[in-house]
Amino acid sequence: MNDPRIEWRVTEQSVKQELVSVDKRWRISRTRKGNGPSEFYLSNFDMLLTPHGTGVDYKECFESFIADCDAFTERIKAVKAAAQEHLRALQMAGEERVRNEN
């Protein structure tokens, strides 16, 4: 007669975690397969739409595209500055933790 027990074996484990900022502008996803290293992917909502142009004719479409590129450049600068400030805060917190441990 066959043994009715089922023995399970984990062949591969995959973990996925997503963090979303309170204002929903920042997202960071972490994935890990098995015992391998974690992989992180960071995105910002303000950067999801690339510059685009619209208009009633070809010329106006290009003009609005160029104007949108300028606005997009300013958004990139603002998002970059926010990311740099967050990184500085993380580094300072890490340095403070090391000082407190010593």
Kindly report the pTM of this predicted structure.
0.71
Beta bridge partner(s), residue 30 = 17, 40
C-alpha triplet 71, 83, 24: angle, nearest 5°:
75
- Give me the tens of pLDDT residue by residue for the chain, a chain 102 residues long: 677 888 888 778 899 999 999 999 999 999 999 888 999 999 999 888 889 999 999 999 999 999 999 999 999 999 999 999 999 999 999 888 888 887
Separation of CA 3 from chain center:
49
Q: What integer pLDDT is reported at residue 1 of this predicted model? A: 62
Q: What integer pLDDT is reported at residue 71 of this predicted model? A: 92
